[in-house]
Amino acid sequence: MSGEEDYSCSFSIGDIAQEKGLPYVPQRYVVSPSNRSSLNPHKAEVPTIDMVRLRQNDGEQRSMTIKELGDICRHGGFFQLILDEALSMASGFFNLPTEKKMKLSSNDVYKPVRYGTSLKDGVDKVQFWRVFLKHYAYPLDAWIDSWPENPLDYRKLALELMRKITESLGLGPNYLGEKMEDGMQVMAVNCYPPCPEPDIALGLPPHSDYTCLTIVLQNAPGLEILDTNDAQWKIVPHHRGVLQVQIGDHFEVLSNGLCKSVVHRAILNSERTRISIASLHSLGIDDKVGPAEELVDEQHPKKYKESSFRDFLDFLASNDIGAGKISFNESLKL
């Protein structure tokens, strides 16, 4: 994608700053100086994985690619996949009449389908400059009746990548087996409208995803990751037909800290709407994830306690994540 496509949205979801077209950012959206973004951010050096190479049957070539993938997950946990993309369907929902969108409006983090702004609209101390649609997408038969429209299907890709990553850790490609195949998939479609003062507000605060794996598609730059080498925020370059893949908290736990979940945030711009589609993959809602026994010994003691997707929802419901006092990932460390 060249960055010139226009996925404009109406954002008519109520009396909010995003819809009013204000020439300033209201105080409730202003983040602390230490969390503000740069108008000229450094570019992240993001490794690219070629799915053609990853799917090869050639023994030596395949082994090299699996090792490369494992190294990436151990050092950064973020990479790009070259694939075709589709974003126009995402803007369609946000351009629906207000009354249709408001039927899904909720701050209840346990709802399988909800529409709103920020993280918990009007509840958290600092609000964030986004509009979102989030819905569970798997198990299919459990959630399909509640969908507003079909999500993009990244599930097969996520399962394939998980098999390769667990293999790179020496756990084998089928380590998670049916637990991952029968697990959860949550689709989050985010709309970030133009912001009059993008340097003092954020679309989403710094956080890591609770998932095993998250796959992201965006129509313009705006995703920043925290570089663990120099503790600097760096923007992920945008390229047509490229998906961003990031390790989540539950996979960091499973690897007993060998792989690190990716801390990231969404920054804003003053000129155009940015859309991102995130496909979040984890085990079942009540399935506990703990460090793999094969990766725990006297030299590498257990570093994390077990947790589930429901545990994350409980954490989200009772904590102001935007305040940055403690992350879900930090709460799991022993």
Query: Is 66 a member of any domain?
Result: no
The whole-number pLDDT of residue 208 equals 94
The whole-number pLDDT of residue 55 equals 79
The whole-number pLDDT of residue 83 equals 61
Query: Is 5 a member of any domain?
Result: no
Query: Is 37 a member of any domain?
Result: no
Which pLDDT band holds residue 246 (cuts at 50, 70, 90)? very high
Query: Half-sphere exposure of residue 315, counting CA atoms within 13 Å on the CB side?
Result: 18
Which pLDDT band holds residue 18 (cuts at 50, 70, 90)? low
Query: Is 165 a member of any domain?
Result: yes
Average of pLDDT values for 214-235? 91
Which pLDDT band holds residue 154 (cuts at 50, 70, 90)? low
Residue 101, domain extent: 71-332
Average of pLDDT values for 153-178? 88
Q: Is 318 exposed, middle or buried (0-12, 13-18, 19+ CB in 10 A)?
A: exposed
Q: State the total domains in the chain.
A: 1
Average of pLDDT values for 192-206? 91
**1 pLDDT exceeds 50?**
no
**211 pLDDT exceeds 90?**
yes
Residues 6 or more apart whose CB falls under 8 angstroms from that of 309 comprise: 184, 210, 282, 283, 284, 285, 286, 287
Query: Is 21 a member of any domain?
Result: no
Residues 210/331/312/169 CA torsion (nearest 10 deg): 40
Higher pLDDT, 19 or 329: 329
Helix, strand, coil percent content, the chain, rounded in steps of 5: 30, 20, 50
The whole-number pLDDT of residue 134 equals 66
CATH number of the domain residue 77 falls in: 2.60.120.330
The whole-number pLDDT of residue 150 equals 38
Query: Among residues of the chain, what percentage have pLDDT more than 70?
Result: 77
The whole-number pLDDT of residue 140 equals 44
Query: Is 281 a member of any domain?
Result: yes
Average of pLDDT values for 249-274? 94
DSSP secondary structure, 53-92, as one string:
HHT---HHHHHHHHHHHHHHHHTTSEEEEE-----HHHHH
Average of pLDDT values for 116-145? 59
pTM: 0.78
Query: Among residues of the chain, what percentage have pLDDT more than 90?
Result: 39
Which pLDDT band holds residue 156 (cuts at 50, 70, 90)? confident
- Range of 29-33, 231-235, 317-321, 323-327 with top mean pLDDT: 231-235
Higher pLDDT, 115 or 149: 115
Query: Is 198 a member of any domain?
Result: yes
Query: Is 132 a member of any domain?
Result: yes
Given a contact cutoff of 8 angstroms between Cβ atoms, the answer to whether 208 and 293 are in contact is no
